[in-house]
Amino acid sequence: MTNSKYRKDFPILSQLVHDKPLVFLDSANSSQKPLSVIETVSNYYLNDHANIHRGIYELSIRATKKFEDARLNIQKFINASSAHEIIFTSGTTAGINLIAQSFGKAFIKENDEIIISAMEHHSNIVPWQLLCEQTGAKLKIIPIFDNGELDLDSYKKLFNARTKIVSVVQASNVLGTINPIREMIKIAHENNVPVLVDGAQAIPHMPVDVSDLDCDFYVFSSHKAYGPTGIGVVYGKEKWLNRMPPYQGGGDMIETVSFEKSTYNKIPYKFEAGTPNIADVIGFSAAIDYMQQIGMKTIFQHEQTLLQYATQKLLEFPDVKIIGTANNKVGVIAFVLDHIHPHDIGTVLDYNGIAIRAGHHCAMPLMERFNIPACARASFGIYNDEKDVDALIEGIYAVKRWFN
């Protein structure tokens, strides 16, 4: 049996919940934070806090260096060509909104088309719907098969002269499906269409190389990747970012301001209005250091072992149906239990100290596609092990006893 030697790095996991040891199986929602990240954020506030890019005094100089070092660290982590291609936002949602509004203002007009998939999180649906309402553009949806894999033949047929951008998730937050992103980008580029990749559920679980993928934009969050909340990253190819107008105004995004006209800073600062979340950018850099010390391939393999074990155990229940059975998945497993609502499953599991997610997972169109109102979801991190899966299975027996 696999035991996670990393659990001890996460102080929150040592507590009891309802007098039971905490079993945290909701990392796809938001992962827990290792002590090294917590201490990094605390140390910044204890010793280095000042506003950045503006002060000529020691604290500001130190804070600015740590902030920009974090940008360099993230650039290397995803293998971007330049640190200028790394923009800090408040999260994946903010990043997609930034691109939808800025790219949309520059390049999308009435009757143009935007391609997304049927498995997208609301954060990769609603910003494009807002843009369509503003411009008169139209959304086109890549359908998915019953096993949770995208229909690539249908995807290829969606392209035409009006297609302006593809925005698609790399790994589904519900199905766990790892999409063939490199192939999808190649198809889009053959049609001269740029691609945004929502990497929120990929970055914590697998190696990501944006240069190898050749994506035009890549967005992700810190809080799902062992880092603080309230921080996200937009990677964008320089050729696009230089042509896109600012999304918000004020602070570091300006070069000069007069009442007649303002001029804007170079990238990435053009897209970073106002005082950023300095402490948590630095904290995210510490989270990246933590993941790299373990190794992204090691993290991926660890979670694959847990996914296979959990899948095998869940399939032993005749009344459990797994939602999403793609060949390639991250450590996410969604399921329904006959005649028992997912919220009731989640409540009983919580009484047993087990934290899962239950609901529509910000993916209502996907629930509709599978003809379910909601589902339960267990998701894994580096701190989980097979004992956590065994606790989940015992918890499901408890659910069945409670309701039957």
State the catalytic residues.
Answer: 362
Query: In terms of C-beta density within 10 A (0-12 exposed, 13-18 middle, 19 or more buried), how is residue 341 classed?
Result: middle
CA separation, residue 49 to residues 54, 266, 278 (Å):
13, 25, 8
Helices (H), 191-330: 210-213, 238-241, 278-294, 296-314
Residues 190, 166 contacting (CB under 8 angstroms)? no
For 350, the token pair is: 């919580």
Query: In angstroms, rounded to a whole number, what is the distance separating the alpha carbons of residues 85 and 57?
Result: 28
Neighbours of 20 (CB within 10 A): 14
Query: In angstroms, rounded to a whole number, what is the distance separating the alpha carbons of residues 290 and 292?
Result: 5
Identify any residues that bridge with 125 across adjacent strands, giving them in sequence order: none
For 207, the token pair is: 């190696």
Residue from 105, 99, 100 nearest 87 by CA: 99
Identify any residues that bridge with 234 across adjacent strands, giving them in sequence order: 87, 219
Helices (H), 51-167: 58-78, 92-107, 126-135, 152-157
Neighbours of 221 (CB within 10 A): 29
